[in-house]
Chains A and B, each alone.
Chain A
Amino acid sequence: DQQVKQNSPSLSVQEGRISILNCDYTNSMFDYFLWYKKYPAEGPTFLISISSIKDKNEDGRFTVFLNKSAKHLSLHIVPSQPGDSAVYFCAANSMEYGNKLVFGAGTILRVKS
């Protein structure tokens, strides 16, 4: 029972263009959503988060959009850089469930120069 789904295993984007990573969830109790970036042999690095009371949060080149009615969120990276090449994980949690994160399976992003 996958509560958080990242349906695209990989994405390839040209340097300078926009990268859009998508995530869907099924549990309406989730109230906090996060994106993590992971390089090989390293732990996930927190990128950006959004609370369910918002529909957009922006931090530099990274913007997260939340569509609660569709139970969908997306991460936009613009402009994409070769150093953005990594695995991106979407995660969700709820204070009701003690803040344990439920992760998607990840999307491999390759930014070509």
Chain B
Amino acid sequence: GAGVSQSPSNKVTEKGKDVELRCDPISGHTALYWYRQSLGQGLEFLIYFQGNSAPDKSGLPSDRFSAERTGGSVSTLTIQRTQQEDSAVYLCASSSLGQGANQPQHFGDGTRLSIL
């Protein structure tokens, strides 16, 4: 389809393992965002990529979290040495930033991460 695609849809792993989550944004969207939603909470910003600019990493909760965006398209969010508090739904969004105009972000269905 033409929407934001995330994989895997579900991931269960043991505490201490590393995980990689993937996001394919909408074709042509230059901005890509990662959020997470913990149980009963609203969405929390993690990281933002815009074109070739340095990413805004201000929302990453610890240095165990990192993300990259290759070729201005696909992004991977990596969590090293996972902890139980990392359990959440990780959501990716993309948008086409207009010149000075706000554009809505469009979300994928997320990856539900469970740390045992």
Residues of B in contact with A, size category: 20 to 34
Chain B residues within an 8 Å CB radius of A34: 104-105
Chain B residues within an 8 Å CB radius of A91: 43
User: Which of A56-97 touch B at CB < 8 Å?
Assistant: 89, 91, 93, 95
* Of A42, A51, A102, the contact of B109 (CB 8 Å cutoff): A42
Q: How far apart are the CA atoms of A44 and B6 in the complex, in Å?
A: 13
Judging by beta carbons under 8 Å apart, are A101 and B43 in contact?
A: yes
Q: How far apart are the CA atoms of A32 and B45 in the complex, in Å?
A: 16
Q: How far apart are the CA atoms of A46 and B3 in the complex, in Å?
A: 12
Question: Chain A residues in contact with chain B, CB under 8 A?
Answer: 4, 31-32, 34, 36, 41-46, 49, 51, 89, 91, 93, 95, 98-106
* Of A49, A100, A105, the contact of B104 (CB 8 Å cutoff): A49
Question: Scoring B residues 79 to 116 as 1 if CB is less than 8 Å from chain A, else 0, what string do you get?
Answer: 00000000000010101010010101111111000000
* Of A31, A89, A98, the contact of B42 (CB 8 Å cutoff): A89
Question: Chain B residues in contact with chain A, CB under 8 A?
Answer: 4, 6, 31, 33, 35, 40-45, 48, 50, 56, 58-59, 91, 93, 95, 97, 100, 102, 104-110
Judging by beta carbons under 8 Å apart, are B108 and A106 in contact?
A: no
Judging by beta carbons under 8 Å apart, are A104 and B4 in contact?
A: no
Q: How far apart are the CA atoms of A32 and B97 in the complex, in Å?
A: 13
Known A89-B43, A98-B50, A105-B42; judge A51-B110 contact (CB<8 A): no
Chain A residues within an 8 Å CB radius of B56: 98, 100
* Of A101, A104, A106, the contact of B105 (CB 8 Å cutoff): A101
Minimum CB–CB distance from A26 to chain B (whole Å) comes to: 15
Q: Which of B44, B56, B105, B108 has the most CB of A within 10 A?
A: B105
Judging by beta carbons under 8 Å apart, are B33 and A101 in contact?
A: yes
Judging by beta carbons under 8 Å apart, are B102 and A99 in contact?
A: yes
Q: How far apart are the CA atoms of A99 and B30 in the complex, in Å?
A: 12
Q: With contacts A43-B109, A100-B58 known, what are 8 further pairs, Cβ within 8 A?
A: A34-B105, A44-B107, A93-B102, A98-B50, A99-B97, A101-B105, A105-B42, A106-B42
